[in-house]
Structure 1
Amino acid sequence: MEAMLRTFFSSPRFAVAGASSDPNKYGHKVFAWYLTHSLPVTPLNPRSPIISVLSKAHTTTASPFALPDPPSYSMSVITPPAVTKQLLKEAKDAGILAVWLQPGSFDKEVLEYARKEFRVAIAGEGGRGGEGWCVLVDGEQGLKIAGREWNKL
């Protein structure tokens, strides 16, 4: 798993699929996590052209295809399993190499697809939390493994 975390966090850019303005949703919390760790992150949300996170407006991108140079991104996914399946197909076709499926974003079929089709697919059992690998719980360890330093506010 260390090698996968290193690869995921060695990407020059990140995308959060399912990013949201709603502070009660994990798409909001995960996007805010990337921002607070000073990582270059793009919110993916096909329904809203702008989201508000940490008191700032952020322009969204509708799909992985719309990202500039998609292979340079690692993508965190916080969408329902039925949405995740289609999203992962788009991400693969766009050239994204590493994905992190947050707890609740996948079922068995989606997890098998991700593990088969992506160079790195972080998901499922493991991590330090009780629900599996989660950026909010395991991300800082991943940053450390990848040698990415960040300043705590």
Structure 2
Amino acid sequence: MDAALKTFFSSPRFAVAGASSDPAKYGHKVFAWYLQHSLPVTPLNPRSPTISALSKEHTTTPSPTALSDAPSYSLSVITPPAVTKQLLKEAKEAGIPAVWLQPGSFDNEVLEYAKNEFKAAIAGEGGRGGEGWCVLVDGEEGLKAAGRDWSRL
């Protein structure tokens, strides 16, 4: 998984599908994690033109295919499995090379698709948490694997 982590965090940009203004939701927590680590991140949300995080409004993008220069992004996914499947198809079409499927965002079919269709897919069993690979738990190790010292960003 180190190679996948390195690939994921070597991208110059990141997007979070399922980003939310609600601080109780994981889409909000993951988006805020990227902001707190000074990483260039775009929230994806087809239902809202902006979301609020860390006391600031952030303009959303509706889908992976709407990202400017999509192949330069890695995508974190925090959506239900039925939504994730369509989202991954759009991400593949857009040329996004790496995805991180948060716990609860995939089923076996979605996981298999991600592993077969992307250069790097982080999901499933593993990581330091009890529920599988999670940006909130394993992200800093991924940054280190990619040679990014976030404390200096």
1:104 aligns with 104
User: 1:137 and 2:137 equivalent?
Assistant: yes
| 1:1-153 equivalent positions in 2, closer than 5 A | 1-151=1-151
Distance 2:4 2:94 in 1: 20
Q: Which amino acid aligns with 2:65?
A: F
Alpha-carbon deviation of 1:120? 0.5
For these two proteins, the number of residue pairs brought into alignment is 152
TM-score, length-scaled by structure 1: 0.98
Alpha-carbon deviation of 1:116? 0.7
Q: Which amino acid aligns with 2:133?
A: W
Q: Which amino acid aligns with 2:94?
A: A
Distance 2:5 2:85 in 1: 22
Question: What do residues 81-102 of structure 1 show as CA deviations (whole Å, max 9, x unaligned)?
Answer: 0000000000000000100000
TM-score, length-scaled by structure 2: 0.98
Distance 1:124 1:27 in 2: 18
Q: Which amino acid aligns with 2:36?
A: T
Question: What do residues 73-121 of structure 1 show as CA deviations (whole Å, max 9, x unaligned)?
Answer: 0000000000000000000000001000000000000000100111100
Q: Which amino acid aligns with 1:115?
A: K
Distance 1:72 1:81 in 2: 24
Deviant stretches of 4+, over 6 Å: none
Q: Which amino acid aligns with 1:63?
A: S
What do you get for the CA RMSD once the two structures are aligned?
0.8
Q: Which amino acid aligns with 1:40?
A: P
Distance 1:62 1:133 in 2: 25
Alpha-carbon deviation of 1:151? 2.2
Alpha-carbon deviation of 1:149? 1.1
Question: Which sections of structure 1, spanning at least 5 residues, go unmatched?
Answer: none
Q: Which amino acid aligns with 2:145?
A: I
Question: Which sections of structure 2, spanning at least 5 residues, go unmatched?
Answer: none
